[in-house]
Structure 1
């Protein structure tokens, strides 16, 4: 069997605009591109590390190089489940650090390569050639993606919202978390611009509020056509949301409080839904399992992302038929996406259904 040539390198992605949340702002996403070259085929993967979850570009590359160094990775072409077992074992017993986006990037690259070897799309592996998917290739039942408006001064926010409306986006995710007065000003500003545009709003505080601010905001959010509120409180305080949940006028989701399957049971009955991301879950398989587990506990599922190119977004898109809500706009926020292949139709992010991930690197 030919050997796999592995490489992981910095993959810096410039954003159209500075992207601000309650914890800070970035102008570049410092990601990692993984390539697996096997018999003239190339599998691509991408990590979008977050310092909030204990990763950065250097740690991802270090983790992957350490892991690959002692492995006969060709074996994973026949058993991708073993890849997950080995990555998890290495993380817990050797590396002893956080590695979710690193693990996700390698698994994504293997899915892409395995698909190209077997002439199958990722969704065919995930859904075992489900007739619904094969006969409905336009993914008519997919939820449309939201488009995120990051924190900034009000003039810039106005420009961002106007540009999003001109581009045809119908669901805007508004980043908040600065405090009641500032966030209310942002909401008022956005609502004035979207009024008359049949545009839904979702708000995300990224853990920037306390419980009193959350209560006050929940009282006023319906006035601004807000569909749901995401992660109002800092991670670890979800128990405080339980008394608010049943009478909340909008749905409450958590993101930072839901990282892997192990967190889901404790969230049931405390919030309405969870935001599941490949870069937190650490793999496509784990995200798939998380979606099904969350639904078994009666939780709604939003499929989300970090700032990512179409490479990583495409892996998540193949899971999107399972999601109630979609927030897969990371590639849409970039000044230039180095990958092509994903489609955007009626605000739905749709895979190309070509082999593997169905995306192509247009430049190195």
Structure 2
């Protein structure tokens, strides 16, 4: 019999994290622990309000798993069966599955990459994301935080100030720029006007500018856009790749939305199989979640794993960053 435990932790941020749909000065993440009194595994959940996930919901769902036999599972396949019978939010599913995988790996003296049958990258270059702010503040923000060590830089934008925000970044760095709209636009033709105004700027690609529900608009946009379009909010735990490849050039897979290592790996494999560019992203997470994502980074085009770098206090110390490179702490 295993002992399972969950706890919440308030993570204060170094600055206001603002995207097109919300802003926050702190995040509440949850941490799942599983132990047999000798070996321990820990997994992280970062609830996402975009998908109606809350700490309260995750706590309720975890208790339901306990009531229905979580303590008695003896294998990954048994855990998967339980999670199919009693579905939970994807972020909690990842926390539970990753905690159990970490437990098994410690017990069997395996690395997580060995368990997943993947090469383990020692270092991973990460994208760094800038939150939405007044355009006149961007230059100082990049300088004070020494953000020129990262390449590419990602700029969170809203529809109103998108052009001046991107221009402000381009004025102070030679880094390629990724534009992340977080579904800020609703009209693809208005979006195309904006994209054409970017001519001459070092734009790498555009991430999820329209709502995920606008399937036909994305098909139109993919044909018309001067830049590649990557999916984020359009991809959760069961992506429809036939539809996605007609809408996007690349896929941003996040373990908190995939719901586990195994499904995240499947999504990355299918991304490649459908001729799309794979990317790994994150929520605001501790180094535990980032360390987990790094296990899947072999052969990835882009890694956007900066979520732990905006925390005032990072509790685990499992990853360090040097000159824009993420390094696994042993």
Asked if Structure 1 and Structure 2 have the same fold, meaning a TM-score greater than 0.5 normalized by the shorter chain, the answer is yes
User: Paired residue for 2:76?
Assistant: 80
Question: Partners in 1 of 2:222 and 2:70 — Cα distance?
Answer: 49
Deviation at 1:222, TM superposition (A): 4.2
Is contact 1:275-1:304 (8 Å) kept? yes
Is contact 1:177-1:232 (8 Å) kept? no
The gaps in structure 1 that reach 5 residues or longer are 92-97, 355-364
Change (3 A) 1:226 1:43: same
User: Paired residue for 1:13?
Assistant: 11
Question: Partners in 2 of 1:203 and 1:232 — Cα distance?
Answer: 8
Of 153, 166, 188 in structure 1, the residue corresponding to residue 167 of structure 2 is: 188
Within the alignment, does 1:104 sit opposite 2:84 as a pair? no
User: Paired residue for 2:236?
Assistant: 259
Deviation at 1:221, TM superposition (A): 3.0
What is the RMSD computed on CA atoms of the aligned residues?
1.9
Could you say what secondary structure the match of 1:339 adopts? coil
Question: Partners in 2 of 1:295 and 1:320 — Cα distance?
Answer: 13
Alpha-carbon displacement from aligned partner over 1:339-362 (angstroms, at most 9, x marks no partner): 11224355232434x5xxxxxxxx
Question: Partners in 2 of 1:253 and 1:34 — Cα distance?
Answer: 31
Deviation at 1:126, TM superposition (A): 0.6
Question: Partners in 1 of 2:147 and 2:297 — Cα distance?
Answer: 25
Alpha-carbon displacement from aligned partner over 1:158-216 (angstroms, at most 9, x marks no partner): 3332234356212211001232xx1111112111121xxx3111010000012123101
Question: Partners in 2 of 1:88 and 1:184 — Cα distance?
Answer: 45
Question: Partners in 1 of 2:28 and 2:302 — Cα distance?
Answer: 27
Is contact 2:252-2:281 (8 Å) kept? yes
Question: Partners in 2 of 1:254 and 1:72 — Cα distance?
Answer: 34
Could you say what secondary structure the match of 2:129 adopts? strand
Of 300, 308, 312 in structure 2, the residue corresponding to residue 335 of structure 1 is: 312
Is contact 1:36-1:113 (8 Å) kept? yes
Runs of 4+ aligned structure 1 residues displaced above 4 Å come to none
Deviation at 1:56, TM superposition (A): 0.7
Question: Partners in 1 of 2:147 and 2:24 — Cα distance?
Answer: 24
User: Paired residue for 1:159?
Assistant: 140
Alpha-carbon displacement from aligned partner over 1:303-348 (angstroms, at most 9, x marks no partner): 0111000111111110011422111111111111101122435523
Question: Partners in 1 of 2:80 and 2:140 — Cα distance?
Answer: 43
Q: TM-score, normalised by structure 2?
A: 0.93
Question: Partners in 2 of 1:118 and 1:31 — Cα distance?
Answer: 28
Work out the number of aligned pairs and report it.
Answer: 329
Deviation at 1:112, TM superposition (A): 1.2
Question: Partners in 2 of 1:6 and 1:138 — Cα distance?
Answer: 31
Of 52, 58, 67 in structure 1, the residue corresponding to residue 56 of structure 2 is: 58
Question: Partners in 1 of 2:18 and 2:70 — Cα distance?
Answer: 41
Judge which range, 337-346 or 208-217, deviates more.
Answer: 337-346
Is contact 1:227-1:250 (8 Å) kept? yes
Is contact 2:94-2:256 (8 Å) kept? yes
Deviation at 1:25, TM superposition (A): 0.2
User: Paired residue for 1:225?
Assistant: 202
Could you say what secondary structure the match of 1:240 adopts? helix
Could you say what secondary structure the match of 2:146 adopts? helix
Question: Partners in 2 of 1:274 and 1:301 — Cα distance?
Answer: 5
User: Paired residue for 1:203?
Assistant: 179
Could you say what secondary structure the match of 2:158 adopts? coil
User: Paired residue for 1:123?
Assistant: 113
Alpha-carbon displacement from aligned partner over 1:53-98 (angstroms, at most 9, x marks no partner): 111111111111110222153433xx2133123212211xxxxxx6
Is contact 2:136-2:168 (8 Å) kept? no
Question: Partners in 1 of 2:288 and 2:101 — Cα distance?
Answer: 12
Question: Partners in 2 of 1:74 and 1:221 — Cα distance?
Answer: 56
User: Paired residue for 1:36?
Assistant: 34
